[in-house]
A and B are shown apart, each in its own frame.
Chain A
Amino acid sequence: MNLIIKYFFVGILPLLLLSCYKDNTSIGNNQITELDISFPNITGAEINMEKNEPLTIDPVITQDGADKAMTYEWQVNYEVFSTDKKLVFPCSKLGKYFIRLKVSNEDGSAFKNFTLNVNSPYEEGLMVLGQNEQGDGSLAFMRKYSPAEIAAGKVESFVNNVFTLNNPGNKIGKNPTDIAKRLNQVFISSSGEGKIYYLNAKTFELEATISAADYPDFKPVAMNVPDAGFRTAVILCEGGKIYNLALLENLILSNAKYSQTVMMKTGFGYNLNDCFNYYWNPATSQMLQYSSYYTTNSLQAFQNQDLVDFFYDASAIYVITKSRTTPAVYTKTVFSQYIQNNSTKLLDIKEQAVLNVIGGDPDLNPSSPIVVNAAFKN
């Protein structure tokens, strides 16, 4: 009997009570408006843009029912970037971005996403350092396009002032003098400011401004920065002073090996082991060579001669000189990279010849452009 009562209370009584509940619910009959998103200017799941090239997307949203109020949410890397319908993304930083648009109405939300790659426009091209009439420096860059890109309508043209474009609020300053690329670094020297700017070669963003408050005469004119893994470069400054630049430490050091004043001209070359820097000392009529392991000079090879020009090419340093006593006599002397034999200290002359200069002065002079950089020649 107890068992029957127990089953009654536990099993049957709840059913009896439930049967007393009146159900007035009905199936939903409101029309739901579904959303559909499309991006007119994007095909595929991944797009590529260049740095500083703004990405603009005006999405087309269709509702398959009544037009209802919509809200928009653009997400970049899972964070809300904008709540406007139209996306304007500046692409100011290199990288890979996951971009998603969420459109909502009162019935629900729809999503559409794609991946954006912001690439460097400065991978390959031509850098030009210039200055205006007031002496203010500027950097221009012309990107090199592939034949396929040119066929697709891309036009190679210079973008001006990329320094300020990538470094808002910063300027190169007065009297820019030299520009050099080293691996992922670009160095720009300014004699007016007494500074060297170190930029990221892929973004042209300023990594460091190198100055030398302890050397007031540090007014860089030419930088012998090889496009290789060397850690120190030699900097020629106004007045013919030479300093060292620590390329990884952004530091200026005095050059203790060559304290004498040199002519305002330099050239350099390098191989896997060493970088060779060349100068002319007008006081002693000597070619100077400064490298990691050896500091050499041309001894008495150019006594009573004036320099016409020198340049480095094919692992040799070419020196053109003019006799002081017989100015019509020009001499070409070709040295090995170190000028002197490292063991015997004798001059290492590969070739020497008197040049037959027709019509007087040759075109070359000490201020002739430096064309010794192998990368430039290529």
Chain B
Amino acid sequence: MVSLYGPDLEHVDFGWPYDYQNTMNKYVLIPLYKYFMEENPGLGVKIPRPSGY
């Protein structure tokens, strides 16, 4: 995944990397959701609840 898209996923130039959607869910979206919606809701960042969480 890193070799395809770079360490910061900067080369994902399309909507959603379906081949890696579980990885994205587990390591990107769920931590994002936890951080912004559960631990720091005061920051005001809205993250939709990821599937599988």
A contact set with B: CB distance below 8 Å: 231-232, 244, 246, 248-249, 251, 253-256
Contact = CB atoms under 8 A, between A and B. Distances in A.
Contacts of A253: 22, 25-26, 52
Tell me the interface secondary structure of chain A in the complex: strand
Contact of B22 (A251, A255, A256): A251
Contacts of B25: 253
Interface string B33-45: 0000000000000
17 contacts: A231-B22, A232-B22, A244-B22, A246-B22, A246-B23, A248-B19, A249-B20, A249-B22, A249-B23, A251-B22, A251-B26, A253-B22, A253-B25, A254-B52, A255-B52, A256-B51, A256-B52
Q: Specify the main secondary structure of chain B where it touches its partner.
A: helix
Interface residues of B, number: 9
Given A251-B26, A253-B25, A244 B19 contact: no
Most buried by B among A232, A249, A255, A256: A249
Interface of B: 19-20, 22-23, 25-26, 51-53
Nearest to B51: A256
A255 B25 CA distance: 12
A231 B19 CA distance: 9
Closest 7 CB pairs of A and B: A246-B22, A249-B22, A249-B23, A251-B22, A253-B52, A256-B52, A253-B26
Contacts of A251: 22-23, 26
A295 to B, nearest CB: 12
Contacts of B52: 244, 253-256
Contacts of B20: 249
Given A231-B22, A251-B22, A255-B52, 19 more contacts: A232-B22, A244-B22, A244-B52, A246-B22, A248-B19, A249-B20, A249-B22, A249-B23, A251-B23, A251-B26, A253-B22, A253-B25, A253-B26, A253-B52, A254-B52, A254-B53, A256-B51, A256-B52, A256-B53
Nearest to B24: A249
Contacts of A231: 22
Contacts of B51: 256
A314 B51 CA distance: 31
A228 B27 CA distance: 26
